[in-house]
Homo-oligomer: A and B are copies of this chain.
């Protein structure tokens, strides 16, 4: 609507003859302000409303290019219904792709459609045939030499008078139709006014299995400060359990001033190791390694060893400082100072977090600050780290992340940033839009069937799926959810199965989880004697541990493509309010998983689940096998409604692999 006023000539739009309009393109995050997200090999389906004035036939195509290439590729778009068109592409390179859409009035197709109607109505079409040859000749100009010859030959056949019947056959025939399809005359074609971006991440951005562990608690010797070397010893077992990301809380020197004691006490003794999030001491800051964990070479070695086991080491990015951090002296301008000359510590009045100083992002020196923070991430990238879990990103400006993450990914498109923001929904979404690869979620606080359906529907069926990749955590050092406090082992299994099958990214804080730790500090959802403030020595193989169950579950995830994405979730009806049931399938339906979870950790629940067999390519008369990948039990089912029963004290869920029986009764080798 905005146009320059001035000379009359200026008042015409540039492209007044572009008759096609393109609207409501998806995916398009916030009008194209942010990119959408895919992983390598994950299809990008682009839809748009495309239409023209009048009654002409239109054509449309999806245009896309890797950001570093100048050459557009195209994919045809087809009409769904009600002027909605769709096209798709599969990204094959890490980084950013650009895409947009183009549509045009297709005069040849319009002519051909009308020509057929005229012929069918027995009208005189001699002049129309001539009009048709003009269209063919126009298209021929763009054709390869060979196709040009063919097209012109067809045109001249059409032009031959006295052979109306054969001309009609040629005009409407497959040869002409298919040949000319390759050379659309895109006169006055309309490009969608925006070029949109899709960030293509590595597959782990969508399918990852996280294990969080404090390296200082990895020593087998009771009470001893663990080291990277101790950590290395655990790698084979972590890998066996099926994890592919090992996330370490901060590994840096810890401040001494106002150091926290056990259970977050403001008083500490010289034995207290302090919270790893109180980063920085005379030993160094965010690029230093806590001396008791080892040195930087030990860290490099750990990263390499982990890789051998298929594990990425994920580091914690916590942009805050202890009062002893070198920055406080070297860059006092990055902190807030009070009128009495003291530095401003973190607080949420009346609560004070005196062991931590927040960074003042409103500082005059914000550019040097941003550069420094980026350099920290680059430092660890230089040491082989490609995954970062970012602590409380919502307490730093969005603009900073929206600058830093793309800057990093420009050179290292394989880097993954997990946003640890437990805050209001719009803030969490904004962080994801701004660049975070994965995000913590409200999963931990969803308990009832209705809550799960509503939340997962929001995550997977709304625009959020284009930019917000959930990572479901069963627990964290900060969060021992109520259900784990009193639900016993069945609750641990149930939450584990939910996290691992609802979301393709999930994680746990161990060994607290697999050892079923459940005692909280009274009145809060937090562990008593929290590992954040003390060194633990774990008996990892303690009776009742869930390690083998976790191993089995992670094996199931690896073996079944349907569990390797979050976007294919579809709830199915059942008649029991305590039962959550859902289907996940691979796109080609070669892998179909039906999960039925008992949300009640105390009682056996049973009921009837409605399997959407029509969507699965199974006929009502056909039987199909459901193979429980947890218990190995197999059932033969038929039709939509089928019975289940789940005793939470045995296993609180079925994870059924569904296979339709072949129609020839003799062929049932899938029983093997």
Mark the stretch among A8-16, A174-182, A528-536 that contacts chain B: A8-16
At the interface, yes or no: A33 with Cβ under 8 Å from chain B? yes
A117 touches B188 (CB 8 A): no
Asked if A577 is at the interface (CB within 8 A of a chain B CB), the reply is: no
Question: Contact at A338–B127, with CB atoms within 8 Å?
Answer: yes
Interface membership of A426, Cβ < 8 A: yes
Interface check A54, CB cutoff 8 A: yes
**Complex interface: chain B residues within 8 A of A35 (CB):** 1
Report the bound CA distance from A349 to B197 in whole Å: 42
Within 8 A of B (CB), among A388-410: 394-400, 402-403, 406-407
A362→B188 contact, CB < 8 A: yes
Cβ of B350 and Cβ of A120 under 8 Å apart?
yes
Chain B residues near A33: list those with CB within 8 A.
1, 193
Q: Which of B17, B117, B402 contacts A350 (CB 8 A)?
A: B117
Interfacial chain B residues near A165, Cβ < 8 Å: none
The CA-CA distance from A49 to B407 in the complex, in Å, is 27
Judge whether B394 and A12 touch: CB under 8 Å.
Answer: no
Complex Cα distance A590/B430, Å? 42
- Pick from B12, B55, B187: contact of A348, CB below 8 A: B55
Using CB atoms, name the residue of chain B closest to A336: B131
Q: Which of A18-26, A236-244, A286-294, A549-557 sits within the interface? A: A18-26
Interface flag for A636 (CB, 8 Å) = no
Q: Number of contacting residues on A, CB 8 A?
A: 69
If A23-B30, A362-B17 touch, whether A396 touches B430 (CB-CB below 8 Å) is no
CB contacts under 8 Å to B, within A359-412, are 361-362, 366-367, 370-371, 394-400, 402-403, 406-407
CB pair B339–A127 under 8 Å, yes or no, is yes
A427 engages B51 (CB within 8 Å): yes
Q: Please give the distance in Å from A337's CB to the nearest CB on chain B.
A: 11
In the complex the two chains form, what is the Cα distance from A339 to B125 in whole Å?
A: 12
Q: Report how far A127 CA is from B336 CA in the complex, Å.
A: 14
Whole-angstrom distance from the CB of A56 to the nearest CB of chain B?
10
A130: CB under 8 A from chain B? yes
Copies of this protein in the assembly total: 2
A400 touches which of B16, B55, B117 (Cβ 8 Å): B16
- In Å, the complex CA distance between A348 and B54 comes to 10
Is A83's CB within 8 Å of the partner chain B?
yes
* Interface contact A399-B349, CB-CB below 8 Å: no
- Contact yes or no, B82 A426, CB < 8 A: yes
Closest Cβ of chain B to A129, distance in Å, is 9
Known: A127-B338, A424-B83. A396 touches B362 (CB 8 A): no
8 Å CB contact of A18 from B1, B348, B399, B426: B399
Give the shortest distance, in Å, between A134 (CB) and chain B (any CB). Answer: 8
Residues of B within 8 A of A188 (CB): 362
The answer to whether A23 and B130 touch (CB under 8 A), given A31-B31, A397-B17, A406-B1, is no
Interface of A: prevailing SS? mixed
Q: What chain B residues lie within 8 Å of A121 (beta carbons)?
A: 349-350
Interface members, chain A 79-130 (any B CB < 8 Å): 82-83, 114, 117-118, 120-121, 123, 127, 130
Instruction: With CB as the reference atom, state the residue of chain B lying closest to A31.
Output: B31
Contact check, A127 vs B340: say whether CB atoms are below 8 A apart. yes
**CB of A669 within 8 A of chain B?**
no
Return A608 CB to nearest CB of chain B, in Å: 31
Inter-subunit contact B397/A51 (CB<8 Å): no
Q: List B contacts of A17 (CB < 8 A).
A: 361-362, 366, 397, 399
Please report the C-alpha to C-alpha distance between residue A276 and residue B370 in the assembled complex, in whole angstroms.
71
The verdict on A53 contacting chain B, using a C-beta distance below 8 Å, is: yes
Do B117 and A19 touch across chains, with their CB atoms under 8 A apart?
no
Q: A26-84: which have CB < 8 Å to B?
A: 30-35, 49, 51, 53-55, 82-83
Q: For A8, what are the chain B residues with a Cβ–Cβ distance below 8 Å? A: 371
Residues of B within 8 A of A425 (CB): 82
* Contact residue among B53, B83, B426 (Cβ-Cβ distance under 8 Å from A426): B83
Q: Are B118 and A349 in contact (CB under 8 A)?
A: yes
With both beta carbons as reference points, the residue of chain B lying nearest to A54 in the complex is identified as B395
Nearest CB on B from A434, distance (A): 9
- Asked if B117 contacts A53 (CB within 8 A), the reply is no
Instruction: Map CB proximity to B onto A196-210 as digits: 1 under 8 Å, 0 otherwise.
Output: 010000000000000
The complex places the Cα of A543 from the Cα of B605 at a distance, in Å, of: 73
- Please indicate the chain B residues that have their CB under 8 angstroms from the CB of A361 in the complex: 17, 19, 53
Note all chain B residues with C-beta closer than 8 A to A187: 362
Report B-chain residues with C-beta under 8 Å of the C-beta of A53. 361, 394-398, 427
Question: In whole angstroms, how far apart are the Cα atoms of A425 and B253 in the complex?
Answer: 64
Query: What are 16 A-B contacts with C-beta separation under 8 Å?
Result: A1-B33, A1-B35, A8-B371, A11-B403, A13-B402, A16-B399, A16-B400, A17-B397, A19-B362, A19-B397, A19-B399, A23-B426, A23-B430, A53-B396, A117-B349, A123-B350
Taking A1-B406, A117-B349 as known contacts, 10 extra A-B pairs with beta carbons closer than 8 A to each other, sorted by chain A number, are A13-B403, A16-B397, A23-B426, A24-B30, A53-B397, A55-B395, A82-B426, A83-B427, A127-B339, A130-B340
A interface residues (Cβ-Cβ under 8 A, vs B):
1, 8, 11-13, 15-19, 21, 23-24, 30-35, 49, 51, 53-55, 82-83, 114, 117-118, 120-121, 123, 127, 130-131, 134, 187-188, 193, 197, 338-340, 347-350, 361-362, 366-367, 370-371, 394-400, 402-403, 406-407, 424-427, 430
